[in-house]
Amino acid sequence: MMFVQAQVKGGEGFFEEILNSYEGVVFGDMRGGFSKFARPYFAVVPSFDRARMGPIGLGLRASTSELPAAYVMQTYYKGSLVLNMLRQILHFRTGNDQMFVKILRDFAKEYAGKAPSTDDFRRVVERDAPRDWSFFFDAWINHADIPSYTWNYKIDPNGAGYELTINIKRSDVPPDFMTIIPLRFDYDDGTSGMIFIPNRQDDQTLKHKLTKKPRAVVFAPDHSLLARVRRG
């Protein structure tokens, strides 16, 4: 997908189309349904059967007798979206894809000809992008739940600048679910800013000071969060 994005004519559009189609597989809807990358036969899988799928970390055991294709759906479709989330978070933090590409190259080189585990990959991630990433792997690899978010915000003058208040309500995941929500501010002069919200609770209110008023506030831009999201 990254090769298509970088090297194929119209690659950015294809990349977006692929992600939308893969999200349609994961969420069970027809987003990207008319795309060449779509798999509409996955969209009709009943929600009850989806709820019984195992997480990515179970591999072939993610499948059930009712849904033998669960392994494919979790590993190849949700797995791609989870890796894209990691890529986007690292890109937002560093400004480019160098750290993410280094992780992939180091992992491929270190474990060539071996049988690595997910924990082996996590160790490479934590070495090349130093921090504790266990929360990310626990939420997206070791558990199958996908969160839903309702959010809203307001911006008020505050001295020489502004104060952003953002309210977030979360559902469909257990209380110990933890992830990172990127939030982007787009300004009239073409610049943008970014903050990262650690999300550990179902109801969350955050205040953040801004030096200038943004034209738009974007919740989890560029497919950086695998979730059902709506403004409320």
Checking if the pLDDT of 126 tops 90, the result is yes
CA distance 1 to 130: 25
Question: Which domains are present in the chain?
Answer: 2-140 (no CATH), 148-231 (2.60.40.1840)
Checking if the pLDDT of 33 tops 80, the result is no
Question: Could you read off the pLDDT of 198-227 as tens digits, one per residue?
Answer: 999 999 999 999 999 999 999 999 999 999
pTM assigned to the model: 0.93
> What sign does the CA torsion over 47, 48, 49, 52 have?
positive
Burial of 45 per CB tally in 10 Å (0-12, 13-18, 19+): middle
> What sign does the CA torsion over 130, 135, 137, 140 have?
negative
Residue type, 62: A
Q: Centre a 10 Å sphere on the Cβ of residue 168 and count the other Cβ atoms it contains.
A: 22
Percent residues over pLDDT 90 in the chain: 88
> What sign does the CA torsion over 1, 23, 77, 202 have?
positive
Checking if the pLDDT of 171 tops 90, the result is yes
- What is the pLDDT at residue 32? 74
> What sign does the CA torsion over 51, 52, 58, 61 have?
negative
